Amino acid sequence: MTLSTTAVNICAMNKLEESLSKTAQTILAMDEASLRSLWEKYKTKAQNFAPSAAWEKDFIIFSIINSVRVKNNVFNEQIKKNTPARKDPAPRRRAKPYLKLVK
């Protein structure tokens, strides 16, 4: 019995999706400050085009770092948007002091 081409493609797609999911988990576990420190380095490498596998890899790394930055911005904007603005409570009126005027 042989698998049909469709079954092989589905199996390959499932493995690809699983691999991408693991990669995303790994990247999300990384320290944002560390990724931010690498952004400039890979931005420069991505800008210096060279028809090579190394340039392609560097470009993918830059894109991943940039994607994390965009995700964080969207996340923070949504949190701000969905968090009700804190209103300062009205100043509490002080009860009249228990003092009597003595002349």
- Categorize the per-residue pLDDT at 18 as very low, low, confident or very high, splitting at 50, 70 and 90: very high
Structure tokens at 43: 């931005």
Asked whether the whole model's pTM tops 0.85, one would answer: no
Query: What is the pLDDT averaged over residues 80-99?
Result: 74
Q: Say how far apart CA 11 and CA 19 lie, in whole Å.
A: 12
Structure tokens at 13: 């797609």
